[in-house]
Structure 1
Amino acid sequence: MSTTCFPSPGWTITDWQAAYRSGRLQARDVLTALVAAHAKGAADTAWISRLDAARSDALLTDLDARLAAVDGDLSRLPLYGIPFAAKDNIDVAGWPTTAACPEFAYQPATDATVVARLRAAGALVVGKTNLDQFATGLVGTRSPHGAVPCAFDSRYVSGGSSSGSASVVARGLVPFALGTDTAGSGRVPASFNNIVGLKPTRGWLSSHGVVPACRTVDCVSVFALTVEDALLVADIAGGYDAADAYSRPALAAAAAAAAPIRLAVPDTLEFFGDARAEAAFRAAMARWQELGAEIVPIDFAPFSELAALLYQGPWVAERFAAAEILLASRPEAVHPVVRGILEGAVRYSAADAFKAEYRRAELARTIQDALAGFDALLVPTAPTHYTIAAVEADPVALNSRLGIYTNFTNLADLAALALPAALRDDGLPAGISLIGLAWCDHALARLGARWQAGLALPLGATGRPLPAERLPLPPAAPATIRLAVVGAHLSGMPLNPQLTSRGATLAERCRTAPDYRLYALADTVPAKPGLARTEAGGGAAIEVELWDVPIAGFATFVAEVPPPLGIGTLTLEDGRQVKGFICEPWALAGARDITAYGGWRAFLAGTATAAPAASLAA
C-alpha cells in the first residue's frame, strides 16, 4: 500500500471511497495494519473486543466474495473496505456479545440486521465497543471494562451508554460506528465528543439482533464525523425488517424547509449552573437566526414530564427483563449502579404500566401537536458536562440530569440529530440537537448539513477540518406530486392526517405569487379557507406549505376534497407552479376576505380569542 494513501485519523467515507476507487488503497493492507495496531496498542477502554488475524482473514474472504458477485464494480458496494465498530449489545457473527457484562456473554450465530446490511454494502466490522452495562446510563462509566473518557479531556465522561462507539469515531479510528439510543445514548456521547449522532425514527433501523434495554422504544443509532456520512450509513442499514416486531415501513423522506426555517426552543432552559454550556447554546440560537431561522419558545413542561417517565415510571421493568435471569442467578455480576436501577422494577404493577402508557400517549400527542408547523425543536444535547470523578461520587443524580433534553424523544416517537456546536473556552465540546416528528430524518439531516458546513470546527478530536467535498444528501420524496396546501391541511391542522396517513411529507414553507386573495368560507367544518387568484390587482402573497404526496395515494386524497374546493395549479412567489387548493367562485360571495392576515394560520391566531375555531369562517 502506498504510504501517501495510508488512512489518517479523520478520514470520512468520501475519503475512503476515493482511495479505494483510485486503486491507491487495498482492503488487505488496511486490515493488516489494524490487526497490528490492535495487537501492540495500549489499553483502550473504548474497546471490548478488537480485530485479530483470524477475524481479519474471515472479513477478507467475505469481502472478496462480495466484490466478485458485483463483477468488481465498487459503485455497487458503497462501503467497500470501510472499517466500522459496533456497540457490544449489537450482534456480530464471530464476535461475542456481552452488553458489557462478561457473565451475560453469548456467541451469536448471525449478524444483527443492521450489521448484515452494512456488511452487504462492503463495510468491515473491526471491533465491539464499550458501553454502560446493559445500555443503562448516559455517562460511560458503568462498565467492568472501565470508564471511557471524553476524547478531549480524560477527566471528563464520554457520555453513554454508547461511550466506546462515540470515542473511536471522535478519535478517527473508524469513520462511523453503531450505537443504540433509548434515552439519549446515541446523542449525549456525540455531544461530548464533537461528532454527529443520528437517532432515527423508531422502527427505521431494525433492532433484530440487539440486546434490548427498553425494547418498545430502543433505536439503533449512528455516529459519524459528518451529517452526510451518518445519513448514508442509516440509509444503507435502515429499512423494514420482518424479523423485528417493532420495525415499520418508512414514509417518504422529507426535504428540509427552504425558508423560513422555524425552530422551536424550550421556554425554560436548565444548565445546572454551567455558564459555559448556556453561553454555547445561546450562541447557537443566535447563529441559527443568522442563517434565517425563526426561533419560537414553546411550553417545555410536557417534554419534561415525559422525560421523567422513562426512569421514574414502569419502563424500568423493560430494562429488568433483559437481565432478569442473570439478576436472579448471579446478581453480583451486574454493575452495582445498574443493578440498583434494574431492581427498582419491583415497585411497579401491571396497572402502573398501563396508567403510565396512557399518560405517555397523552403527552406524546401534546408534544407532536406542539411541534407541528416547526422544522425542529432545537435543544442543547446535554445541559452540562461532568467529570468522571463527580459522576462516580453521585452516579444516579448526575446521570439523570444529562437526559433532560433527550429522554422524551423515543417515548414521543420523534427523530433526532445531535450536532457539534462549539468548543468551549475550557476545551470541551458543546452540542445541539434537532428533534422532529417521526420520519423527518432526512429533513433534519439537510438542516444539520447546512449547520455543520458553516462551523469552523475540527472533525471530532482529530484536528482535521471539515472537507469541502462530501457525500451528497440523497434526493427527497421520489415518485410524489408536490401539492400546495393553504388551510385545514397545514401542519397541525385538523385535516393534515389526510396527508400524513398517505405518507406525504412536508417539503417547504413558502408563499404564493402576490396576486391571490384568501377567504374564510362560511359553514365549513372544520373551518376552511378559499384561495382565489385575482386579475384586477389588490392581491397579496399567501403563506402555503408544499407537501410531497406519493403518487399511489394522490387520487384517493383528491377524492376526499369536498366542494367548493378543488385541486388546480398555483403560482408561487418565485414563479414556480405547483398543484394546490383552489376554490370555486360561487362560494366566495358570502365569505370573509382575510387576505390581510397573509395566511390561514395567522388568521386563526389573530381571531382565536374572539370566537371558537368552528365558527371562525362565519
Structure 2
Amino acid sequence: MMDSRPDANAIAAAVSAGKVTAVTVARQALARIADYDPVQPAIWITRCSEEDVLAAAARVDARVAAGEALPLAGVPFAIKDNIDLADVLTTAGCPRFAYTPQRSATVVERLIAAGAIPMGKTNLDQFATGLNGTRSPFGAPVCVFNRAYVSGGSSSGSSVAVAAGLVAFALGTDTAGSGRVPAAFNGLVGMKPTKGRWSTAGLVPACRSLDCITVFSRTIDDSRLIDRIVAGEDPADGFSRALVDRSAGVRRIGVPLPEQRVFLGDAASEHLYTQSLEALARTGAELVEVDIDPLNEAALLLYNGPWVAERAAAAGSFLIDHADAIDPTVRLILEQGLTVSGIDVFRGQYRLAELSRIANIMWQQVDALALPTAPTIYRTAEMLAEPIALNSNLGLYTNFVNLLDMAALALPAGYRDNRTGFGISLIGPAWTDNALMDLGAAYLEAAALPHPPSLDLGERMETVKLAVVGAHLEGMPLHWQLTSRNARAIEATTTAPTYRLFAMADSVPPKPALAYSADGAAIAVEVYELDVAAFGSFVAEVPPPLAIGSVILADGSSVKGFVAEPRAIVGARDITGFGGWRAYVAAGATIDPVPGRTACADE
C-alpha cells in the first residue's frame, strides 16, 4: 500500500510503474478532502467535481498505458484562486469579481500536460493582499497544527491543503511573501522563483511587475520537479524571461547583524533561528554578518511607497465601481494607491535603483542570505483586532525580495511550544533558484528537524511550558499545585548559565528566588506542561515578590518560569553554588539562608 499522503515524486513513480492507478490516487485524495472538510471548511473556494477529477485521472491512466512518460502522473494538486483553471470560476477571493476563464494559466497547463490532477481552487487573502489568511469572505484557513493561529497568507488555502495532506503540492503566489510566510507557519517548503522564471499568464495580478507564481510542497525534490516542468519563457507573458542558470555553490551565507535580528518578543522564534544558523554552519558554509537596513528600506517602498499604486492599477475600475464588494482592510490598502502621483512613482524608482545597487554590492560579499521567514506568528483573533500592523510585522523579512529581483526558498526550521511552525528563507540574486535548492537540501539534512506535530483536529488544548525551581519541584511542599492542574512532566534540566539562586528570608513556606545574572550558573529546574486555563489559574496564585516570566534553558529555548522582583533578594542568601534548590535542601540545617536564622527549604 502507498502512504496515504505521499509526495509528488512518489505518486508519479508509482502510477508510472503501474503499482497504482491515477484513478485510485484521485479517489484517495477526494476521500482525504472530504474527511478534513469539517476540520477546516475554509480551505477551498471551488472544488472540482468528483466526476471531473476521476475523468482527468482516467485520461492519465490511458496516457500511461499508451507508454507516455508523465513526470506528474496522477499527482493531485491545488490551485490558488487567483490563478486560472479553464472552465472553473476564478474569484481572487471576491465573489462579485468572479469570472470563468476559457483557458488555464500557462503553469497550470504545463502541470496538467505532465499528468497532474487539479482538485480545486483554494482560498486566499482577497486580491492576494495580505500575509495572514483572514481577509476573505470565504472564511479564514488556519494553521494545521494549532487552529487558534493564522495560516499565513495570502496563499492560505494552498498551504493548508498541502500541510494537511489533501494534495501533494499546491500553487500559490508571492508579491511580498505570500508564498513563503504560509510555508513557515505550516512546516512546508515554499519555492518563490526568480521573477519571470515561471509564467504569470492567467494570474489575476496584485502587483503585475512583481508577482510570482509559487509552489508549496513537503520536499525540496518536489519543488525541483515542479520547477523543471513549469519554468521557461512564455510569449503570452510580457514579464517572462529566458532562463539563466546561476547554480554555483553557496559558500558564504549572509545573516543580519545581531541588532537587526528582530523577533518582536518571540523568544521561541529567536531560539529556532539560532539553531537554523548552527545547522547551516554544519553544511560547511561560512556565516557572514551583513547590514540588512538597505533591504528593509526597499521593503518599505512596497506598501509605504508608490508601488501601492500598482495594486490599485491591478484592481482597475472594480476598485472604483464596486468598492463595497471589497474587504474593508484590502480596500483601505488599495485606495491608498489612488493618491500616488507620477512624481512619487519616479522618485520611488530612483530610490529603488540606488538600493538595488547596494544589494548588488552585498552579493559580492555573500552568495545567499538566511533570514527568518517571519519574526513571529499571531492568533486569528489578534490579527482581526489589529489587521494592518500585525500583518506588516509578518512581512518584515519578505517584502523586499521581489522588488530587488531575488529568488527565495522558504524552509521549515522547527516548531514552537504552541506547535506552530517557524521557518527560514534562503534568498539569493536572480537565477540562483537551483543553488538555493541545493543549499536547502544540505541544510535540512544538517538540521535533522523533528517530525511535524500531528494535525490539530479540534480535540487538543493549547498548552504552556513552565519551569519550576523550588517548592513546586516533585516531592516539594507545593508540587500539588501542579498535579491538581494535571500538569505533565516534560523534563528535568537546567537553566542557561546566566542565573543566580537565592534562599529568600522570611518566606513561608521557604522559597528560593531565581534572578538573571550574566555571571551566574546553570540552576536545576523541572519543566511541566499545563493547558492555558490551568496555567492562568496557577499564575494567579503566585505570591509576591515572586512572579512568572521567561526563563532560558540550557538548550537556549525559553519557557515560562519563576522569576523574582528585586526585593526578593533583600536579606537572602546566595545559594547558586549548590546548583539548585534540591541540593540546597539536601545540605540540611547546616546552611542558614540568613546568618542567625535556622535553615529552611522550599521555593
TM-score (norm 2): 0.72
**Segment of structure 1 superposing worse, 449-458 or 58-67:** 58-67
Q: Is the 8 A contact 2:29 2:76 kept in 1?
A: no
- Within a 5 Å distance, the mapping from 1:552-591 to structure 2 comes to none
Cα separation, partners in 2 of 1:413 and 1:228, compared to 1, 3 Å = same
CA distance in 1, matches of 2:452, 2:317: 39
In structure 1, the residue matched to 2:294 is 302
The aligned counterpart of 1:8 is: 4
* Matching residue within 394, 403, 412 for 2:395: 403
Letter in structure 1 aligned against 2:281: Q
Q: Which of 52, 56, 63 is equivalent to 1:55?
A: 52
Of 9, 19, 30, which residue of structure 2 is paired with 1:24? 19
Q: Structure 2: how far apart are the matches of 1:458 and 1:244?
A: 41
**Would the aligned equivalents of 1:35 and 1:52 in 2 still touch at CA under 8 Å?**
no
Q: Single out whichever of 128-137 and 46-55 deviates more from structure 2.
A: 46-55
Q: Tell me the residue number matched to 1:251.
A: 244
- 2:124 corresponding residue in structure 1: 131
1:434–1:444: 8 Å Cα contact kept in structure 2? yes
Match of 1:93 in 2: 86
Residue 457 (structure 1) shift: 3.3
Structure 2 counterpart SS, 1:425: coil
* Alpha carbons of structure 1 residues 390 and 39: separation in structure 2 relative to 1, 3 Å: closer
After TM superposition, give the deviation of residue 373 of structure 1 in Å.
3.9
CA distance in 1, matches of 2:20, 2:60: 15
Q: 2:183 aligns with which of 186, 190, 197?
A: 190
Change over 3 Å in CA distance of 1:21–1:64 after alignment to 2? closer
Q: 2:406 corresponds to which residue?
A: 414
Seen in structure 2, the aligned counterparts of structure 1 residues 111 and 319 have a Cα distance that, compared at 3 Å, is: same
Q: Deviations over 1:231-288 (max 9, x none)?
A: 210121110001100000011241424xxx2111112111111111111111211222
The higher radius of gyration belongs to 2
CA shift digits 1:540-570 (9 cap, x unpaired): xxxxxxxxxxxxxxxxxxxxxxxxxxxxxxx
Taking the aligned partners of 2:197 and 2:32, their CA distance within structure 1 comes to: 35
1:122 to 89, 111, 115: 115
What one-letter code is carried by the residue in structure 2 that aligns with 1:265? V
1:375 aligns with 2:371: no
Corresponding residue for 1:264?
254
Q: How far is the alpha carbon of 1:458 from its aligned partner?
A: 5.6
| 1:415-494 correspondence runs (5 A) | 415-457=407-449
| TM superposition shift of 1:36 | 5.1
* Separation of aligned partners in 2, 1:271 and 1:385: 10
Matching of residues 25-424 of structure 1 within 5 Å: 25-35=20-30, 38=33, 41-42=37-38, 44-60=41-57, 62-63=59-60, 66-67=63-64, 71-73=66-68, 76-257=69-250, 261-267=251-257, 268-424=260-416
Query: What SS does the corresponding residue of 1:354 show, helix, strand or coil?
Result: helix
- Contact in 2 for aligned 1:172/1:460 (Cα 8 Å): no
What per-residue deviation string (whole Å, max 9, x for no partner) do you get for residues 557-598 of structure 1?
Answer: xxxxxxxxxxxxxxxxxxxxxxxxxxxxxxxxxxxxxxxxxx
Checking the alignment, whether the CA contact within 8 Å between 2:22 and 2:57 is kept in structure 1 is yes
SS at match of 1:454: helix
Alignment partner of 1:197: what SS? Answer: strand
1:58, distance to aligned residue in structure 2 (A): 4.3
Query: Is the contact made by 1:34 and 1:51 (CA closer than 8 Å) also made in structure 2?
Result: no
How far did residue 301 of structure 1 move?
Answer: 1.2
| Separation of aligned partners in 2, 1:413 and 1:155 | 35
Matched AA of 1:166: S
Contact 1:364-1:412 at 8 Å conserved across structures: yes
The alpha-carbon distance between structure 1 residues 37 and 416, as it changes in their structure 2 partners (threshold 3 A), is closer
Amino acid at match of 1:249: A
Give 5+ residue unaligned stretches, structure 2. 456-603
| Partner deviation per Cα, 1:472-504 (whole Å, 9 max, x = no partner) | xxxxxxxxxxxxxxxxxxxxxxxxxxxxxxxxx
Distance in 2 of aligned mates of 1:417 and 1:208 = 22
Measured after TM superposition, the shift of residue 33 of structure 1 is 4.0
Show structure 1 runs of 5+ residues with no match. 464-618
1:545-556 correspondence to structure 2 within 5 Å: none
* TM-superposed deviation, 1:460: 5.5
Q: Following the alignment from structure 2 to structure 1, what is the Cα–Cα distance between the partners of residues 264 and 203?
A: 34
Q: Which deviates more, 322-331 or 99-108?
A: 322-331
Q: How many residues align?
A: 451
Contact kept, 8 Å, 1:205 with 1:220, in 2: the verdict is yes
Alpha-carbon distance between aligned partners in 1 of 2:12 and 2:284, rounded to the nearest angstrom: 34
Identity among equivalent positions (%) equals: 50
| 1:200-228 CA distance string (max 9 Å, x none) | 00000000000000000100111110111
Aligned AA (2:4) = S
Equivalent residues of 1:202, 1:413 under 8 A apart? yes
CA contact under 8 A between 2:110 and 2:229: conserved in structure 1?
yes
The amino acid that maps onto 1:12 is D
Q: For the residues of structure 2 that align with 1:33 and 1:284, how far apart are their CA atoms? A: 35
Cα distance in 1 for residues equivalent to 2:302 and 2:277: 28
Q: In the TM superposition, what is the alpha-carbon distance from 1:368 to its structure 2 partner?
A: 2.0
The one-character-per-residue Cα deviations of 1:509-536 (angstroms, maximum 9, x if unpaired) are xxxxxxxxxxxxxxxxxxxxxxxxxxxx
Superposed displacement of residue 325, structure 1: 2.2
CA distance in 1, matches of 2:205, 2:211: 7
Contact 1:172–1:461, Cα closer than 8 Å, also in 2: no
User: What pairs with 1:584-603 in structure 2 (closer than 5 Å)?
Assistant: none
Return the letter of the residue paired with 1:425: D
Q: How many Å separate the matches in 2 of 1:390 and 1:411?
A: 29
Q: Quick one: structure 1 residues 342 and 459, their matched pair in 2 at CA, closer, same or farther if it must change by over 3 Å?
A: farther
Task: Say what the alpha-carbon RMSD is for the aligned residues.
Answer: 1.8
Q: Alignment partner of 1:411: what SS?
A: coil
Which residue identity is paired with 2:21? Q
